[in-house]
Chains A and B, each alone.
Chain A
Amino acid sequence: AQSVTQLDSQVPVFEEAPVELRCNYSSSVSVYLFWYVQYPNQGLQLLLKYLSGSTLVKGINGFEAEFNKSQTSFHLRKPSVHISDTAEYFCAVNARNAGNMLTFGGGTRLMVKP
């Protein structure tokens, strides 16, 4: 079975500052990794995904994430955040023996302050 831990439930940050949202996973088999974003009163949108190849993955809205197999992490970063990035962010893992089922972390609420 796989599990996902998002270490911070809330991350406050000032506009134009850099941010890192942390995600660690556990799985006994190889995994695919995803970050989703949920804006208020909306469903989840895919930000980026890691399937294979380069460990640095670039997504929409200037976000990127780095897959670190030895540390079983997939942290999300953005060098300069905007007010519009205020949302909840979910890390998810799909283990290769789990069909197409995702396991989600508990979410991190990013609060960008002016």
Chain B
Amino acid sequence: DVKVTQSSRYLVKRTGEKVFLECVQDMDHENMFWYRQDPGLGLRLIYFSYDVKMKEKGDIPEGYSVSREKKERFSLILESASTNQTSMYLCASSRGGWNQPQHFGDGTRLSIL
């Protein structure tokens, strides 16, 4: 069965800290994605990657960066966490090409105090 694993289910950090969210997929997928989910806003794409070391900005990249050094791992980095980054973060992966469905992890609920 397909598996996308996010390293933490819940995380509490302080304003100004550097925060790392990790995601690993075991399906040899080319594409990986980071979303944030907020009530009433659905999912908004932060960044995605279509290959190792390749990345593209999504709709809301400000305040975030990403790293993809290996095909199976995609990291989201909050360089200096702020309270408005408190949210649920979801990682997803998909095969390359058009119309491929995305497979999601269980999410990380991040609180910035």
Contact surface of B with A, Cβ cutoff 8 Å:
4, 9, 31, 33, 35, 40-45, 48, 50, 58, 90, 92, 94, 96-107
Bound Cα distance A41, B105 (Å): 11
Q: Chain B residues near A106 (CB, 8 Å)?
A: 40-42
0 or 1 for each of A31-54: is its CB under 8 Å from B? (1 = yes): 010101000011111100101000
Q: Chain B residues near A4 (CB, 8 Å)?
A: 42
Number of interface residues of A (CB under 8 A): 25
Contact surface of A with B, Cβ cutoff 8 Å:
4, 6, 9, 32, 34, 36, 41-46, 49, 51, 90, 94, 96, 99-102, 104-107
Looking at chain A's contact residues, the main secondary structure is loop
Q: Assess whether B94 is in contact with A100, with CB atoms less than 8 Å apart.
A: yes
Bound Cα distance A98, B99 (Å): 10
Q: Chain A residues near B96 (CB, 8 Å)?
A: 100
Bound Cα distance A39, B97 (Å): 28
Name the contact of A100 in the complex, choosing from B9, B31, B40, B90 (C-beta under 8 A).
B31
Name the contact of A107 in the complex, choosing from B42, B92, B98 (C-beta under 8 A).
B42
Q: Chain A residues near B101 (CB, 8 Å)?
A: 34, 46, 49
Q: Assess whether B48 is in contact with A101, with CB atoms less than 8 Å apart.
A: yes
Q: Within the complex, what minimum Cβ distance (angstroms) separates B40 from chain A?
A: 5
With known contacts A100-B97, A101-B45, A43–B107 Cβ distance under 8 A: yes
Bound Cα distance A42, B109 (Å): 11
Bound Cα distance A88, B79 (Å): 31
Name the contact of B105 in the complex, choosing from A43, A102, A107 (C-beta under 8 A).
A43
Name the contact of B104 in the complex, choosing from A43, A100, A105 (C-beta under 8 A).
A43
Bound Cα distance A103, B47 (Å): 13
